[in-house]
Structure 1
Amino acid sequence: MNYWKRSKGWILVWSATLLVSGLIIFKGYLSSSSISIQERATKLPSQTTQAVSEGNQTQTIQRTTVDTQADVSAGSVKAQEPSEGLRLVHEPTDMGEKNWSIKDFPSPVQGKILRDVGSYYSETLESYIFHAGVDYAEPEGTVIRATHGGKVVSIGLDPILGQQVTLDCGEGWLVTYGGLDNLRVHVGEIVVNQGALGQVGFFPGAEGQNDRTQLHYEVWHDNEVQRP
C-alpha cells in the first residue's frame, strides 16, 4: 500500500513537472512568435518605404533625363536658329552686289548697223521719231539669245518693232529685242543668260530698212536710254 502511494506521488510530481515544462515551452514559443511578427511588421514599412523611395528616385532620374534631353533638343534648335539667321544675313543679295553697266548688256549679234540710237525721219510715219535702240542686219531665221538673264515682262507684236520681247533684268535695267519671229518665251518666264528668245523675222512695217531682216536691240536703265 505504501509502495502504491509512493508511486502515485512520483507520478504526480512528474506530471506537474511535465506540465510546467510544457507551459514554459509554450510561453517561449508565443514570445518568439510575437517578436517575429513585430520584426516583420517593422521590416515591411521599411521595405515599402525603400521601394517607394527607389521608385521615386527612378522616376526622378527618368524625368531628369527627359528634361535634359528636352533641354538639349531645345538648345540644339536654338543653336540652329541663329546660324540660319546669320546665313540669311550674310547671304549675298542681288540688290546689294549688282553694279551693272552697259558693258554687261552686249549686243547679241555683230551684224551691220542699219540704224543707231537717235532721232530720224520715218517715211512710214512721215514724222521724226526717236530711235531708242540699234538695228542690226541679220539673216532671217537667226536664233537670238539673251545676253543677260531676266524676267519676260512684255511680248508680242509692236507696230514699229515687229514681234518683240522685253526682259526686266533687275536694278532698273530693261532690254528689248525686236524684229523677231517664232518666239520661244512667254510673259512671266525667267530667261537665263544665253536663253533662246526667238528668231530674226521679216516685218515690212519695221523701222529702218524695210527690205531687210533686222534685229532691234534696245537697253534702258532707270528710264534712260543706253547706247550699247
Structure 2
Amino acid sequence: MIHWRVSLSWILVWSCSLLVGIAILCFGYFDNMLSHFQQLEPSKIEHVTQAAAKQETLPRLHSSKTGLALESQAQKEKVPNKATLTYKDFPSPVQGKILRGIGNCYLAAIESYMFHPGEDFLEPEGTVIRATHRGKVIFAGHDPLLGEKVVLDCSQGWIVTYGCLENIWVKTGENVEKQEMLGQVGFNPGAEGINDQPQLHYEVRHGNTIQNIETGGSNL
C-alpha cells in the first residue's frame, strides 16, 4: 500500500512539471509573435487589414450584383412586347365619298399624269380631322400639291399623311395621341383639287409601300 502511494505522488509531481513546461513554452511563443507583429511597418499592417476587409467584402458585392441582375431580368419580363402594327391600325379618319384612289391619274393643274399615293375623301370644309394612330409629327406645313398637310411617324416604319387641310393645330416635333385634333378640311384649288371641292387626302405608307386602307392590300 505504501509503494502505491509513493508511485502516485511521483505521477502527480511529473504531471504538474509537464503542465508548467507547456505553459512556459506557449507563453514564449505568443510573446514572440506579439513582438514580431509590433515590429511590422504601419504600411504592412494596413495592407494586411485591407486584404482581410476585401476578402470579407467580395462575397457581399457578388451577392449584390447577382441580386441586381435578377431584378433587372424580372423587370424585363414584366415589360410587354409592342404589338406589330398592320394597316387595320390606320382606318380612314372620315366616312366621306372617295373622289380619287391610289394609282395613276391625270391632274389638270399640271396637265399630266402622275401617281396618286393616297385616297381623297369628299368632306365639307371645316371638318375636324383627328389622328387615327398616335405618332410624332415629322412635318406640319404647306405642300405645293396637298396644300396644308401633317405627316406622322407612327413607329415600326408606318408613316401617315393628312393633306388638303387648313388651321393646322400641331407643330413639327410634337407627339400626338390617337384621336387628337390635327386640323380641319380646307379648300385646296391646287393640283390635288377635284372640281374645286373640299376634300381630305389620306395616305398610309409602311416603309416604301403604300397601303390601300379600303382593300387591305398594298401598292408600290
**TM-score above 0.5, yes or no:** yes
Tell me what 1:140 maps to.
Answer: 125
- Alignment partner of 2:94: what SS? coil
Q: Structure 1: where are the runs of 5+ without partners? A: 1-66
Q: Structure 2: where are the runs of 5+ without partners? A: 1-55, 214-220
Tell me what 2:200 maps to.
Answer: 215
Tell me what 1:85 maps to.
Answer: 73
Counterpart code for 1:175 = V
2: CA distance, partners of 1:140 / 1:77: 63
2: CA distance, partners of 1:166 / 1:122: 23
Out of 95, 98, 114, which is 1:113 matched to? Answer: 98
Report Cα offsets for 1:29-53 as digits up to 9, x if no partner: xxxxxxxxxxxxxxxxxxxxxxxxx
Tell me what 1:61 maps to.
Answer: none
Tell me what 2:178 maps to.
Answer: 193
Instruction: Give the conservation status (yes or no) of the 8 Å contact 2:93–2:131.
Output: yes
- Alignment partner of 2:154: what SS? strand
Confirm or deny that 1:127 pairs with 2:112. yes
Q: Which protein is bigger by CA-based radius of gyration?
A: 1
2: CA distance, partners of 1:201 / 1:208: 10
Tell me what 1:13 maps to.
Answer: none
Counterpart code for 1:214 = Q
Shift of 1:88: 2.2
2: CA distance, partners of 1:144 / 1:206: 21
Shift of 1:75: 5.3
Instruction: Give the conservation status (yes or no) of the 8 Å contact 2:107–2:191.
Output: no
Confirm or deny that 1:154 pairs with 2:139. yes
1: CA distance, partners of 2:120 / 2:180: 20
Instruction: Give the conservation status (yes or no) of the 8 Å contact 1:115–1:208.
Output: no
Tell me what 1:225 maps to.
Answer: 210
Instruction: Give the conservation status (yes or no) of the 8 Å contact 1:114–1:208.
Output: no
- Alignment partner of 1:194: what SS? coil
Shift of 1:85: 3.1
Confirm or deny that 1:103 pairs with 2:88. yes
Shift of 1:202: 1.0
Counterpart code for 2:164 = G
2: CA distance, partners of 1:199 / 1:206: 19
Tell me what 1:6 maps to.
Answer: none
Aligned residues: 158
Shift of 1:173: 0.8
Note the 1:62-77 alignment, pairs <5 A. Answer: none
Tell me what 2:27 maps to.
Answer: none
- Alignment partner of 2:184: what SS? strand
- Alignment partner of 1:170: what SS? coil
Note the 1:51-62 alignment, pairs <5 A. Answer: none
The structure whose residues are more often helix, as a share, is 1
1: CA distance, partners of 2:63 / 2:210: 55
Counterpart code for 2:72 = E
